[in-house]
């Protein structure tokens, strides 16, 4: 359990300036030792804090903290669709929301965490992110149909991400099957979808999304593929509240279309942003085999179509990993 003062203090330090132990103690009406203890807890969570005798404490850089009102106002008119919960710290927003979904959480519940310490990625990977490095959230969407009808869902979510990135000024984003978002073949965002319910319905999807905001070099070195972030792409600190609001709006639109017409209606748009269309690729199978071919595109159900020496083969998202000869 994190000390209850840790995140309130971090919110004061979010301006990136020095705050003396004494001023913080006065502000929170506690002793300087209590402030020190709370910041020790922050360090235990991997948050770097500079502490300089005579000047106080500061974060390495300013951070824009999450704020529910700012998220809602960025969603705009569709804000009433969503039930947004902002958390300071969770191990994984997907794990948290999967549990909550199983005990009846409302449709369109969005869980967002300022700090996620055990973020999960596809194929058993971790999603690495310290405070302010990444926007990490999960959205619960309940479907009348069963899990069997959701095969193209992860690709549909990729389309929502591209629309949102376009709206906030990132035009060069592309999609890598099934659903990574790349800019210049470097990963900007990842999607992890977990399903609950029956094959014939109803079912529920927990849609987890991580977007790199500002990756420090030491974190980039721990990521096992080329990665980029919003700061590098725009030269600015983009407000995570703004991105989340814009994204939720597009997610809502895309999910409603998907519910009605399936992936089919979004397929052309997906292909327009496809980073590997007609490109040579290697596919790594769960059993370690490797297959080579050229990507023909995706089917109406989101299946990847690859031209191989044995003819066109179809792959469903599952555990397959796609590698381009470029990235």
Residues that bind ligand BTN (CB under 6 A): 92-94, 119-122, 125, 127, 136-138, 180, 190-192, 208-210
Nearer to ligand BTN, 6 or 212 (CB): 212
Nearer to ligand BTN, 24 or 304 (CB): 304
Q: What is the chain's alpha carbon radius of gyration, rounded to the nearest angstrom?
A: 21
Nearer to ligand BTN, 92 or 114 (CB): 92
Point out which residues pair with 86 in neighbouring strands. 112
Closest residue by beta carbon to ligand BTN: 190
- Burial (CB count <10 Å: 0-12, 13-18, 19+), residue 23: middle
Least distance between ligand BTN and beta carbon 301 (Å): 21
Least distance between ligand BTN and beta carbon 34 (Å): 32
State the Cα–Cα distance between residues 207 and 156, nearest whole angstrom: 11
Answer for the pair 327, 186: CB distance below 8 angstroms, yes or no.
yes
Answer for the pair 210, 125: CB distance below 8 angstroms, yes or no.
no
Nearest to 183 by CA among 166, 196, 198, 195: 166
Least distance between ligand BTN and beta carbon 137 (Å): 6
Least distance between ligand BTN and beta carbon 308 (Å): 25
Nearer to ligand BTN, 121 or 146 (CB): 121
Nearer to ligand BTN, 16 or 318 (CB): 318
CB neighbour list of residue 248: distance below 8 Å, 6 or more residues apart: 71, 75, 78, 82, 84, 110, 139
Nearer to ligand BTN, 95 or 151 (CB): 95
What are the residue ranges of helices labelled H in 187-239?
217-220, 230-234
Nearer to ligand BTN, 19 or 120 (CB): 120
Least distance between ligand BTN and beta carbon 216 (Å): 17
Helix H or strand E segment including 35: helix 32-44
CA dihedral sign, ordered 172, 179, 235, 249 = positive
196: tokens are 């609950």
Answer for the pair 177, 322: CB distance below 8 angstroms, yes or no.
yes
Nearest to 250 by CA among 207, 291, 187, 299: 207
Least distance between ligand BTN and beta carbon 115 (Å): 11
Nearer to ligand BTN, 93 or 114 (CB): 93
State the Cα–Cα distance between residues 88 and 65, nearest whole angstrom: 9
Answer for the pair 179, 119: CB distance below 8 angstroms, yes or no.
no
Least distance between ligand BTN and beta carbon 276 (Å): 16
Nearer to ligand BTN, 10 or 191 (CB): 191
How far from chain centre, in Å, is Cα 6? 24
Least distance between ligand BTN and beta carbon 14 (Å): 21
Least distance between ligand BTN and beta carbon 110 (Å): 11
């Amino acid at each position: 359990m994190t000390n209850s003062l840790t995140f309130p203090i971090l919110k004061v330090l979010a301006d990136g300036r020095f705050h003396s132990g004494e001023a913080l103690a006065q502000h929170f009406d506690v002793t300087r030792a209590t402030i020190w203890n709370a910041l020790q807890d922050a360090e235990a969570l991997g948050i770097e804090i500079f502490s300089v005798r005579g000047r106080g404490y500061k974060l390495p850089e300013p951070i824009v903290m999450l704020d529910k009102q700012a998220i809602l106002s960025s969603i705009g008119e569709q804000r009433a669709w969503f039930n947004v919960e902002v958390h300071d710290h969770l191990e994984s927003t997907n794990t948290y929301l999967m549990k909550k979904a199983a005990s009846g959480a409302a449709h369109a519940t969005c869980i967002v965490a300022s700090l996620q310490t055990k973020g999960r990625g596809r194929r058993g990977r971790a999603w690495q992110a310290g405070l302010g490095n990444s926007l990490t959230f999960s959205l619960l969407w309940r479907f009348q149909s069963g899990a069997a009808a959701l095969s193209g869902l992860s690709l549909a979510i990729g389309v929502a991400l591209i629309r949102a990135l376009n709206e906030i000024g990132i035009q060069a984003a592309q999609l890598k099957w099934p659903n990574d978002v790349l800019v210049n073949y470097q990963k900007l965002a990842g999607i992890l979808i977990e399903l609950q319910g029956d094959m014939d319905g109803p079912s529920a999807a927990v849609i987890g999304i991580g977007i790199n905001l500002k990756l420090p070099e030491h974190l980039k070195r721990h990521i096992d593929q080329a990665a980029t972030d919003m700061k590098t792409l725009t030269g600015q600190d983009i407000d995570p509240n703004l991105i989340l609001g814009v994204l939720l709006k597009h997610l809502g639109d895309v999910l409603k279309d998907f519910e009605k017409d399936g992936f089919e209606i979004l397929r052309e748009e997906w292909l327009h942003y496809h980073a590997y269309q007609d490109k040579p690729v290697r596919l790594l199978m769960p059993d370690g085999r490797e297959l080579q071919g050229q990507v023909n595109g995706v089917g109406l159900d989101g299946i990847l179509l690859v031209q191989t020496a044995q003819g066109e083969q179809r792959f469903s998202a599952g555990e397959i990993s796609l590698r381009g000869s470029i990235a």
